[in-house]
Amino acid sequence: MKYYAVVLFVLFNTLVNAQINSNPPNIFIITTDGFRWQEVFKGADYKIISDTNYVRDTSLMIEQFWSEDLLERKKKLMPFFWNVIAKKGTLVGNREYGNDVNVANLFKISYPGYNEILTGFADRKFIPNLTVRNKNSNILEFLNNCNGYAGKVAAFSSWNVMPYILDEKHSNFSVNSGYEMLDEQNDSTNMLINSVQNGVEIKSHTRYDLLTYASAKNYIEQKHPKVLFLGLGETDEFAHKGQYDQYLQKAKQVDQIIAELWYYVQTDPFYKGNTTFIITTDHGRGSKTSKWSQHGFWVKGSGETWMAMIGPGIAAEGERKTKGELYLKQIASTIGILADEDFHVGDHPVAAPIPLTKESTVTPIPTNIKPITINLNNK
């Protein structure tokens, strides 16, 4: 009798484990290039928004984005962040509280920043923002080789250098960047997007974010990837041009994109209750009013970033107001933890994940995922 009981116990556990692993968590990594923590946590900067050197119509922009009330001001710029993520997720990086998120790389520009986010490694070798192959293994490539994620990883970005950062030719997952044409195959939406892209007369290295989002959204609806990287870029483009009005408008557009995407995953049976968003930026910008549009190792504030997270495995902590320090390089292994995978590679070290408390153990059961509590006092 004991023998049969043992056999039944083993069979039961095998069945439970198979059910647990049959639907591993979905993870969306979303970045908005070069967007400062100051705007995330404090809203529009009055000194800049009222400066005609950076804003064409100061009175109109003040009307749209300014309020003396801090919370109202933040909600004017990023309503999804402060109405939803602040209540149901976690926001990290408000340096007013000594709650820091930094880049670990020395250079504080985009290529090293995205490499750090996606590989978990702050490479000391300088790679400029050019179409140069990145030989560092990344978390997307890693997950694409894991059971439950194979063939279910994709990346879309506005910046046309991203395929090189992700080493698309050797990674074996779908990457669409810049004004790269989409695979049509009787897909009317992709045909329309391609038609619009062909109609853009002056194509810069950064595609319009709305085209990037439309491309990604159609892919999500058609293919249902389990891991998606969405890299948006126009915040950085307009910051470099010194156009603070456009910078704010693109930031609000990013918030709207994330809100729409979150609504979609909560209403699609494939994603509902089993999808986590990790949102961040690749670098900061100058902290001084006169330097806000610049970044690089020579500009103070360029290494100061932020993170926002929401979904299963993330505690509803809201804005963190305790002292501590995190780095972008910790994101990759944290994605691995959320996916119930140990991200490690042979070609470079990987930073430890964001520390999780004992109570925040992530279980891959979609209907019973306990939240992560982030401890910022440990790196």
Residue 18 has pLDDT above 70, yes or no: no
Residues 306-318: what's their mean pLDDT? 96
Structure-token pair, residue 218: 């159609």
pLDDT of residue 6 exceeding 60: no
At 262-287, the pLDDT tens digits run 999 999 999 999 999 999 999 999 99
Q: For residue 365, which of 88, 16, 8 has the smallest C-alpha distance?
A: 16
Residue range 135-191, pLDDT digits in tens: 999 999 999 999 999 999 999 999 999 999 999 999 999 999 999 999 999 899 999
Q: Which domain holds residue 270?
A: 26-368
Residue 202's pLDDT is: 95
pLDDT at 12 over 90: no
pLDDT of residue 151: 97
**In the predicted model, is pLDDT for residue 365 greater than 70?**
no
In a domain, 378, yes or no: no
Read off the pLDDT of residues 30-72 as tens digits, 9 standing for 90 and up. 999 999 999 999 999 999 999 999 999 999 999 999 999 999 9
Would you state the pLDDT for residue 21? 53
> How large is the average pLDDT for residues 81-88?
98
Q: Do the domain assignments include residue 120?
A: yes
The tokens describing 108, both together, are 């504080």
Rounded percentage of the chain residues whose pLDDT exceeds 90:
86
Predicted confidence at residue 356, as pLDDT, reads 56
Q: Tell me what pLDDT residue 358 has.
A: 35
For 315-319, what is the mean pLDDT?
94
Provide the number of structural domains found in the chain.
Answer: 1
**pLDDT, average across residues 64-86:** 98
- Please tell me the predicted confidence (pLDDT) of residue 179: 98
Residue 6 falls within a domain, yes or no? no
Residue 11, in any domain of the structure? no
Q: Average pLDDT, whole number, for the chain?
A: 91
Does residue 164 lie in a domain region? Answer: yes
Task: Indicate the pLDDT class of residue 15, thresholds 50, 70 and 90.
Answer: very low
14 inside domain: no
How large is the average pLDDT for residues 339-349?
Answer: 96
Q: Would 278 be classed as within a structural domain?
A: yes
Q: Is residue 329 part of a domain?
A: yes
Rounded average pLDDT over 81-109? 98
Contact 249, 214 (CB under 8 A): no
The enclosing domain of 65 has a CATH number of 3.40.720.10
What pLDDT sits at residue 5?
45
35 Rama sector, left if φ>0, alpha if ψ -120 to 50, beta otherwise: beta
Predicted confidence band of residue 355 (pLDDT cuts 50, 70, 90): confident
